[in-house]
């Protein structure tokens, strides 16, 4: 997992899980219709997965770190489909999901080019009219300090609409909150 020890402890904590449930997901997903089939990219320790699993009938999660994927599989059992894989090459058929979500993980994708491949894959696996949504952190001294020796390529929310539109998304919106931003984009309907 591309995270330092302090970062791993924070993201695996009960405090973070509580914040995700009370603040992060309600804000990031406000007014986002999830639909029945959802794909979560990069769930890490599963704080977001725990909340999503109660909200959608069919949740698939894609985790790049093999140990984390195994832990998630043991944690969630048959309630969630856990896939070990890379979000820049999503092992799913085109149009498989109503919604693709990514929470506080985009900055761990190792390059801007890889982030764009992730965005293109999210577009590909969405059904026509489906939504790509999520949130990520804004650059700050504290954010950078938390990520010492981590993979950290901050996504500029001012550039994200153009990047997503270039890939083929439409109706891109960005919102800012305390230290983070949320995004939404749609795969065009035919």
Burial class of residue 103, CB neighbours in 10 A (0-12, 13-18, 19+): buried
Q: In what order do the strands lie in the sheet with 170-176?
A: 81-84, 58-63, 37-41, 97-103, 126-137, 180-186, 170-176
Q: What is the pLDDT of residues 44-68, one digit of tens each?
A: 889 899 999 999 999 999 999 999 8
For residue 2, pLDDT beyond 80: no
Bigger pLDDT: 146 vs 22: 22
* pLDDT score for 19: 75
23: pLDDT confidence band, cut at 50, 70 and 90?
A: confident
Cα–chain center distance at 26: 14
Q: Which of 13, 23, 3, 78 is nearest to 47 (CA)?
A: 13
Collapsing DSSP to helix, strand or coil, 184 comes out as strand
Spatial neighbors of 150 by CB under 8 A, at least 6 apart, are 2, 3, 4, 7, 108
What fold does the segment set 5-24+35-186 form as a domain? Rossmann fold (3.40.50)
In the chain, where are the structural domains located? Answer: 5-24+35-186
For residue 127, pLDDT beyond 60: yes
Placement of tokens 């109660």 in the chain: 54
Length reported for the chain = 190
Task: Give the mean pLDDT of the chain.
Answer: 88
């Amino acid at each position: 997992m591309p995270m330092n020890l302090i970062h791993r402890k924070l993201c695996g904590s009960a405090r973070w899980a509580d914040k995700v449930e009370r603040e992060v997901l309600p804000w990031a997903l406000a007014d986002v219709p999830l639909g029945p089939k959802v794909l979560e990219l990069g769930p890490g320790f599963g704080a977001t997965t725990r909340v999503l699993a109660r909200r959608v009938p069919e949740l698939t999660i894609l985790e790049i770190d093999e140990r984390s994927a195994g832990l998630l599989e043991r944690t969630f059992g048959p309630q969630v489909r856990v896939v070990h894989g890379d979000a820049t090459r999503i092992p799913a058929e085109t149009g498989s999901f109503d919604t693709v979500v990514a929470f506080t993980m985009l900055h761990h994708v190792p390059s801007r080019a890889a982030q764009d491949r992730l965005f293109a894959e999210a577009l590909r696996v969405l059904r026509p009219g489906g939504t790509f949504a999520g949130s990520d952190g804004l650059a700050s001294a504290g954010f950078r300090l938390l990520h010492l020796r981590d993979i950290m390529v901050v996504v500029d929310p001012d550039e994200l609409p153009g990047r997503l539109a270039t890939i083929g998304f439409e109706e891109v919106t960005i919102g800012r909150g305390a230290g983070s931003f949320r995004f939404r984009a749609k795969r065009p309907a035919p």
